[in-house]
Chains A and B, each alone.
Chain A
């Protein structure tokens, strides 16, 4: 997905001269096409994320679109105050792109696992929080990110994620996309964990449990109507996210349900527990260890709906 992101960005930047890339010495093997095509709009700040974000904000204050880009937590947590005070407070046109949310860089360890990013980014006024699940959403999302005026958080996948959507999608920022329909429950997910969720729903189908599956690619602003509609129509709501449970997608969905006074008969949030990962393993292995693999998701939902 990161390769696709960079390709789409370069394509857009050919026509849109406002687009700059401001880096912090990360992106080897991916960012070179932008650097080679637009060397005067591409800057590597060195290993200095605070300056990267401040410089991006200054560039954006002059009418440009500045993209900061790095992996996992580097462009968010190290420079969080720059994102808050400089970017969000001034509603500056800065786009913060991370590669590999959640446990993507699993064996590298906790420093490289972005597991609180959605909660933190969605707490910031003016910030859009976007997590594409596959190439279709990722492609549409880059266009939406550039078209949107203001701060934008883009949680990009790091590998060749398989498609979740079949064929073309009707994409709109802030609007949920239904992946499959069902009557017994609705599973909301955000980001590349959709690759585990959809097969889980298909496995449940074989056991006679009909799940609606909905991608909430935009966690903020969230699609309130889709959430309320799903709760009313299917009764049970499940959220799945590759992120800790506090403050993420499940929290956002439950806030909407409480605000709207729509109580689903059954409700379950699937995500990471309130701990730092202490186990060593690949992305796939860690997902399974923490209940986020297809079989573990299916088992949790079956238990809920029993």
Chain B
């Protein structure tokens, strides 16, 4: 996929486009979770342009990499990427979260290109583990990548899967955490502190790396060499900012649920240097 020499620019442009789509869709649908979408824009743009082997013309292609979004509340951002890549017509964006629309608030496998539906946290990783187990058993070389949130890591089921994946040395499995450090009711450190996050996972026998989750070069560098270590599942902690790209949303708890007003949309688009 490394076609363009200006891939960094292209990647950043796609991330910005994702942010714009998310703001417009959530504004139109009067829905929340926009902060959780904005924090993972670069992660998604790098994944879909540099890492994942997927084909918009053949969404069910057997050799595709499996991408499971466990933080299903951020599904709108995945829809934005999939629409941009041509998995479905971009006019579907108009129906996000609206009557008779095709895009429901939490990510749905009924949308072409979406591997699995989630929405209740702690579901993605166990399923991704099962997919990785089956792939290895069948001798398949596709990878399984699961994108999770801070809140996902509160769930007991996630830790059950962490133990299991390491026990079975699933090195075809990669977890990416959009570690924006804010959850529904507060800052993660005040709710359930995950720190020392990397050490916890290392102690659970995962290979761990940490990057700036808004630095597409750093993301690309980390994800270009999978697994991080043979015989271990890979865990990439992406340090991100909730609400990234919209100044008054950044690192706030309120942008988890709040929807975007007309005035806020106009201001946000100006900040993102969108003229129309």
Using a CB–CB cutoff of 8 Å, the interface residues on chain A facing chain B are 22, 40-41, 43, 45-46, 48, 50-51, 53-64, 66, 81-82, 85-86, 89-90
Contact = CB atoms under 8 A, between A and B. Distances in A.
Given A41-B137, A54-B161, A59-B131, 16 more contacts: A46-B164, A48-B164, A50-B157, A51-B126, A54-B129, A55-B130, A58-B132, A58-B133, A59-B134, A61-B130, A81-B123, A85-B119, A85-B120, A85-B123, A86-B127, A89-B117
Contact of B129 (A46, A51, A85): A51
A80 to B, nearest CB: 11
Nearest to A89: B117
Interface in B156-196: 156-157, 160-161, 163-164, 168
Contact of A50 (B122, B134, B137): B122
A51 B132 CA distance: 14
A51 B160 CA distance: 6
A53 to B, nearest CB: 7
B1 interface: no
Contact of B130 (A66, A81, A85): A66
Nearest to A82: B123
Given A54-B126, A55-B126, A57-B127, A62 B160 contact: no
25 contacts: A40-B137, A41-B137, A45-B164, A46-B163, A48-B157, A48-B163, A48-B164, A50-B160, A54-B126, A55-B126, A55-B133, A58-B127, A58-B130, A58-B134, A59-B131, A60-B130, A61-B130, A62-B131, A62-B135, A82-B126, A85-B117, A85-B123, A86-B123, A89-B117, A90-B117
Given A43-B133, A62-B138, A81 B127 contact: no
B163 A58 contact: no
Interface string B73-117: 000000000000000000000000000000000000100000011
Contacts of A86: 116, 123, 126-127
Contacts, number: 90
B118 interface: yes
A178 to B, nearest CB: 41
Contacts of B129: 51, 54-55, 58
Given A85-B117, A85-B118, A59 B157 contact: no
A55 B161 contact: yes
Contacts of A50: 122, 126, 156-157, 160
Which of B119, B129, B134, B156 has the most A CB atoms < 10 Å from its CB? B134
B46 to A, nearest CB: 24
Contact of A81 (B116, B120, B138): B120
A162 B123 CA distance: 41
Interface of B: 109, 116-120, 122-123, 125-135, 137-138, 156-157, 160-161, 163-164, 168
A54 B131 contact: no
A90 B130 CA distance: 14
Q: Which of A51, A81, A86 has the most CB of B within 10 A?
A: A51
Residue picked from A43, A50, A82, A90, most chain B C-beta under 10 Å:
A50
Contact of B164 (A55, A62, A81, A85): A55
Contacts of A90: 109, 116-117
Contact of B160 (A41, A48, A58, A81): A48
B112 to A, nearest CB: 15
A41 to B, nearest CB: 7
Counting chain B CB atoms within 10 Å of each CB, which of A40, A43, A81, A85 scores highest? A85
Nearest to A40: B137
B116 A61 contact: yes
Contacts of A51: 126, 129, 157, 160-161, 164
A59 B126 contact: no
A57 B164 contact: no
A107 to B, nearest CB: 29
B145 to A, nearest CB: 13
